[in-house]
Amino acid sequence: MTVVGRVAALWRYPVKSMAAEELDGAEVSWHGLAGDRRWAFIRGGQVRSGFPWLTIRERPELAHYRPRFAVPERPNASPVLVRTPTGGELDVAEPALAAELGAGVRVIKQDRGVFDTMPLSLLTTDGLAGLGRLAGTELAAGRFRPNILVDTSGVEAPGAGAPGRDFPEEAWVGRVLRIGRLRMRVDQRDQRCVMVTIDPVTLQRDPAILRVIARERDTRFGVYGSTVEPGQVAVGDPVELER
């Protein structure tokens, strides 16, 4: 195997489209990181829609709602508490929280997670820096809501860190990565939407970000993947590309 980087950061999203929870380590099952996107809110009148979810596209302030697990060591069985932008804290299933988010909004839970495409998403530091150069601005990983950020800086192995290779993760599509005890198949590039135009800290919109991704990257940035072999991952773990 070839070392192509190290895990720089890990995130999970207990509630779809709400703030991320940054982790030092996590167990990854067939359905992604334990506790990732198990809860989601549905817009009023959209239950039968192909995309019924309430997201930061419609309500950017969702990025300032901060969910946490009441029992962190058991995320798949733990209640989820959400701290609101005003400082209150509600159980994710309390009707008062759904009412605060809009008329007709309701919450659902799916044990396999509410994923748009696949249960794992990954970015590299080289990819993030490369897109920032194209956009003419520094970009934070949180804007793109990945699960795994791989530090590929200074790695000279093929597919990462090589001169002119700003997006090494794209060379991994169709390959298997070993990350800690996890084996992850990189299945496809991640097609982006208007969510990436919203800064999760300031909530300001910058449509130019998506225009750059559309023009320079065929509207794709980062990669999606799936679990080949479940296992524990942690910040600092080597990321190895299997032959």
pLDDT at position 242 is 96
CA–CA separation, 123 and 130 (whole Å): 11
Beta carbons of 192 and 221 less than 8 angstroms apart: yes
- Closest by CA to 30, choosing from 227, 232, 180, is 227
pLDDT at position 159 is 53
Report how far Cα 120 is from the mean position of its chain's Cα atoms.
Answer: 7
CA–CA separation, 134 and 149 (whole Å): 20
Chain region(s) in the chain for CATH 2.40.33.20:
2-14+117-241
- Closest by CA to 189, choosing from 226, 222, 147, 225, is 222
CA–CA separation, 54 and 39 (whole Å): 11
Summary count for the chain: helices (H), strands (E): 3, 16
Tokens of 208: 């130019």
- Closest by CA to 116, choosing from 201, 206, 192, is 192
Q: What is the mean pLDDT of each run of 10 residues along the chain (243 residues)?
A: 96 97 96 96 81 93 96 90 96 96 94 93 97 96 98 70 72 97 98 96 96 97 98 98 94
Exposed, middle or buried by CB within 10 Å (0-12, 13-18, 19+), for 83?
Answer: middle
- 5-40, pLDDT tens digit by residue? 999 999 999 999 999 999 999 999 999 999 999 999
CA–CA separation, 92 and 82 (whole Å): 6
Q: What is the pTM of this model?
A: 0.93
Q: What is the CATH class of 2-14+117-241? A: mainly beta
pLDDT at position 161 is 47
CA–CA separation, 59 and 16 (whole Å): 12
pLDDT at position 154 is 76
pLDDT at position 123 is 98
pLDDT at position 19 is 98
